[in-house]
Amino acid sequence: MKVVLAYSGGLDTSVAVRWIKEKYQAEVITYTADLGQDINLQEVKDKAIKTGAVKAYVEDAREEFLQEYVFPALKAGALYQGKYPLATALGRPLIAKKLVEVAKKEKAEAVAHGCTGKGNDQVRFELTFMALSPELKVIAPAREWEFLSREEEIEYAKRNNIPVEISKKTPYSIDRNLWGISIECGELEDPWKEPPEDAYQITSSPEKAPASPQYIEVEFEKGIPVSIDNKRISPTELIDYLNIQGARYGIGRIDMVEDRLVGIKSREIYEAPAAVILHSVREALESLILDRESRNFKNLISSKYAELIYYGWWFSTLRKALDAFVEKLSTNLTGKAKIKLSPGQVNVVGRTSPYSLYNMNLATYSEEDIFEHSAAKGFITLWGLPLKVESKIRKP
Ligand code: ARG
Q: Which residues are catalytic?
A: 12, 92, 121, 173
What mean pLDDT comes out for the span 278-283? Answer: 98
Amino acid at position 267, single letter: R
Q: Where in the chain is the domain with CATH 3.90.1260.10?
A: 174-352
Q: 396 vs 8, which has greater pLDDT?
A: 8
The dihedrals phi and psi of 60, each to the nearest 5 degrees, come to: -85, 110
Ligand 1 binding pocket includes 177 (Cβ within 6 Å): no
Work out the pLDDT band at 188, boundaries 50, 70, 90.
very high
86 alpha carbon to ligand 1 midpoint, in Å? 9
Homologous superfamily (CATH) for 2-61+85-159: HUPs (3.40.50.620)
The neighbouring-strand residues paired with 174 are 183
What's the CA-to-centroid distance between 127 and ligand 1, angstroms?
Answer: 16
Q: What is the CATH number of domain 174-352?
A: 3.90.1260.10
- pLDDT confidence of residue 396: 80
CA of 183 to the centre of ligand 1 (A): 8
Cα-based distances in Å from 279 to 5, 74, 220: 34, 7, 11
User: For atom 5 of ligand 1, which residue has the closest CA?
Assistant: 182
Provide the β-strand partners of residue 185. Answer: none
Which residue has its alpha carbon closest to ligand 1 atom 1?
268
Which pLDDT does position 347 carry in this prediction?
98
Q: Tell me what pLDDT residue 168 has.
A: 57
For position 150, what pLDDT does the model report? 84
Nearest CA to ligand 1 atom 4: 120
Q: Please report which confidence band the pLDDT of residue 89 belongs to, taking 50, 70 and 90 as the band edges.
A: very high
For residue 167, pLDDT over 60 is answered with: no
How would you write 192-219 as a 3-class SS string? Answer: CCCCCHHHCCCCCCHHHCCCCCEEEEEE
Is ligand 1 within 6 A of the CB of residue 122?
A: no
> pLDDT per residue over 113-138, tens digit each?
999 999 999 999 999 999 999 999 99
pLDDT at 395: 82
Q: For residues 56-71, b (16+ Cβ closer than 10 Å) or e, as one string?
A: bbbeebbebbbeebbb
- Count how many residues are written for the chain: 396
Q: How far apart are CA 324 and CA 312, in angstroms?
A: 19
State pLDDT tens for residues 303-357: 999 999 999 999 999 999 999 999 999 999 999 999 999 999 999 999 999 999 9
Residues 176-182: what's their mean pLDDT?
Answer: 98
Evaluate if residue 199 carries a pLDDT over 70.
yes
Residues of the chain with CATH 3.40.50.620: 2-61+85-159
- Which pLDDT value is given to residue 78? 98
Residues with Cβ within 8 Å of 179's Cβ and at least 6 positions away in sequence, in order, are 36, 65, 66, 70, 85, 86, 87, 90, 91, 239, 272, 274, 275
Q: Is the CB of 182 under 6 A from ligand 1?
A: yes
Average pLDDT over residues 20-31: 97
Q: Report the pLDDT averaged over residues 5-18.
A: 96
205-248 residue pLDDT tens: 999 999 999 999 999 999 999 999 999 999 999 999 999 999 99
Q: What is the mean pLDDT of residues 62-81?
A: 98
Share of the chain above pLDDT 70, in %: 99
Q: Beta strand pairing status for 265-271 and 180-184?
A: antiparallel
Write down the mean pLDDT value for the chain: 96
Ligand 1 centroid to residue 319 C-alpha, Å: 21
**pLDDT at 280 > cutoff 90:** yes
Whole-model pTM: value is 0.96
Question: Residue 374 corresponds to which amino acid?
Answer: S
Q: What digits encode the pLDDT tens for the residues 236-276?
A: 999 999 999 999 999 999 999 999 999 999 999 999 999 99
Distance CA 301, CA 341 (A): 29
Q: Per-residue pLDDT for 169 more than 70?
A: no
